[in-house]
Amino acid sequence: MTPQRIAVVGPVACGKSTLAAAIAAHTGLPHVDLDQLFWGPGWTPVHTDTFASCVASVARSPRWIIDGNYGGQISETVLGHAQLAVWLDLPLRVCLPRLLRRSINRARSGQELFAGNQETWSHLIARDSILRWGPAHHHRHRRRWQQTLAHSAGGLRVVHIARSADLAPCLRGLGLLPVEEGACRSR
């Protein structure tokens, strides 16, 4: 049976939102990106209690796929309600080029992200830029997810993906992504 509450976790630019959207499209599960709940206008974080309350409300729902890289109470809430966690544990050498490409494309296109926010060229060169923050915290986040998922309560099933090539075959085998035409489905 397909899990009805799936958490997708991992470091910046590992593909959490893209994967969650693909799983949602295939399964019909509602997709919630935690960044959409966290960021207010002008890249201002919402109040901590408001964020935690929104996350708890979503996590109590019977069906969802939630993606994000938030620790502490937020990850406890999400993982405490999840039936499956997909941990995208991709190396920095994979995530960094993705982050650069994504950020440059967003700045170039003026793509609206959360609450009307956009990545701009000035954001990309700022001291607190995602281009600096993501790589600087990559290994710390990997250790945090390793510890958090190893100690998750309730026997949470964890799918650990450490290589991009393993992602689609593994998730197809779980029925979370469509099987390609002509491909064999392993059992």
| Residue in 47, 49, 84 with CA at minimum distance from that of residue 67 | 84
Q: How confident is the prediction along the chain (187 residues), in pLDDT tens digits per residue? A: 889 999 999 999 999 999 999 999 999 999 999 999 999 999 999 999 999 999 999 999 999 999 999 999 999 999 999 999 999 999 999 999 999 999 999 999 999 999 999 999 998 999 889 999 999 999 999 999 999 998 876 689 999 999 999 999 999 999 999 987 544 443 3
DSSP state of 88: E
| Residue in 17, 24, 11, 5 with CA at minimum distance from that of residue 176 | 24
Query: What's residue 153's pLDDT?
Result: 62
Query: What's residue 183's pLDDT?
Result: 45
Query: What's residue 155's pLDDT?
Result: 80
The dihedral through the CA atoms of 118, 122, 125, 129 has a sign that is negative
The ranges assigned to domains in the chain are 5-173
Alpha-carbon distances of 59 from 13, 65, 78, 123, 169, rounded to whole Å: 23, 9, 6, 32, 27
The reply to whether CATH 3.40.1030.10 applies to domain 5-173 is: no
Whole-number Å distance between alpha carbons of 53 and 57: 6
- pTM, two decimal places: 0.92
Alpha-carbon distances of 78 from 2, 38, 84, 103, 173, rounded to whole Å: 18, 14, 10, 27, 24
Query: What's residue 92's pLDDT?
Result: 97
Whole-number Å distance between alpha carbons of 33 and 148: 20
